[in-house]
Amino acid sequence: MTENALTIIPESGAATYRLSTDAAGLSRAIVMQTAVSIQGRQYVKVEGWQAIAVAHGCTASSGSVERTEDGFRAVGQVRRMDTGAVIAEAEGFVGIDEPVWFGGEATDKWGKKKIHLKRPDYAIRAMAQTRAISRACRSAFAHVVVMIDKNLSTTPAEEMQGLPENQRTDDWAEEAVKDGLAKDTTSTYDATKAKRAKEYADSAIEVMNLTRNPAAVKDWRRLASTVPEGKKKSPLEWLKDNSPGQYLRVRQAYQNATGEDIE
């Protein structure tokens, strides 16, 4: 594969995983160069998400913007370049409760209050589209971000930048608490384990969704059930023992893809 080559989505589950590895290498420079640091963590901007999509042979875009009672809404899509098929879709939203965009008072991380002026409508509409594109890419390629650098957050940068500083937090931590995987977000061990489980489950489900081939999905299951050298458990065994909720998600996705139980 040449340096500028696009990866094309294959039929094999194992090949799909290798595709993501190749795409991570192709897009890494752009992702890392455009990432922004927010409160000590690195977040991927829309340019990085689009680079990941292109490396997979896909394009990401957003159509018209809708004005609602609560703000501006846009829908982003990720399409394959060869067939035009939509492989991911997500909503981007900028709400009137966001003082950074619609104006108002907000508190920074030091507890100081700051008054924000309302941004022009065209800027708010553009941000809704940007968030939609990033969110659509995230739904398809979050696992690639983890492959590029484990310290990168899979939460799109634009979503974090729109929040007052005292409200910025990774969504995976809050989801871990809601799912019962961690007692609170200050428990480093529980939260880290929950994040790892969710990222693995997201990656596995995306591989199955992208492949859409029962035989290839079964091939993926064989690989995921194999105990890696130096480990005591296979990835699926680890997931089942450490995060029953995420394991159930993977189990359901496997059943939907193959008509069989993963166990």
pLDDT at 27: 92
Using 70 as the pLDDT threshold, list the residues of the chain that sit under it. 1-15, 108-111, 161-192, 210-212
Task: Tell me: do 117 and 206 sit in the same domain.
Answer: no
Task: Tell me: do 135 and 236 sit in the same domain.
Answer: no
Domain count, the chain: 2
pLDDT at 13: 58
Give pLDDT tens digits for 41-54: 889 999 999 999 99
Task: Tell me: do 222 and 154 sit in the same domain.
Answer: no
Task: Tell me: do 149 and 210 sit in the same domain.
Answer: no
**Rg, Å, the chain Cα set:** 19
pLDDT at 163: 55
- Is residue 173, in this structure, part of any structural domain at all? no
pLDDT at 211: 61
Task: Tell me: do 216 and 126 sit in the same domain.
Answer: no
pLDDT at 162: 62
- Is residue 263, in this structure, part of any structural domain at all? no
Q: How far is CA 131 from CA 220, 242, 253, in A?
A: 31, 32, 26
pLDDT at 185: 43
Structural domain including 93 reads: 25-168
- Is residue 139, in this structure, part of any structural domain at all? yes
* pTM exceeds 0.85 for this model: no
Task: Tell me: do 65 and 136 sit in the same domain.
Answer: yes
- Is residue 36, in this structure, part of any structural domain at all? yes
Task: Tell me: do 75 and 119 sit in the same domain.
Answer: yes
pLDDT at 109: 59
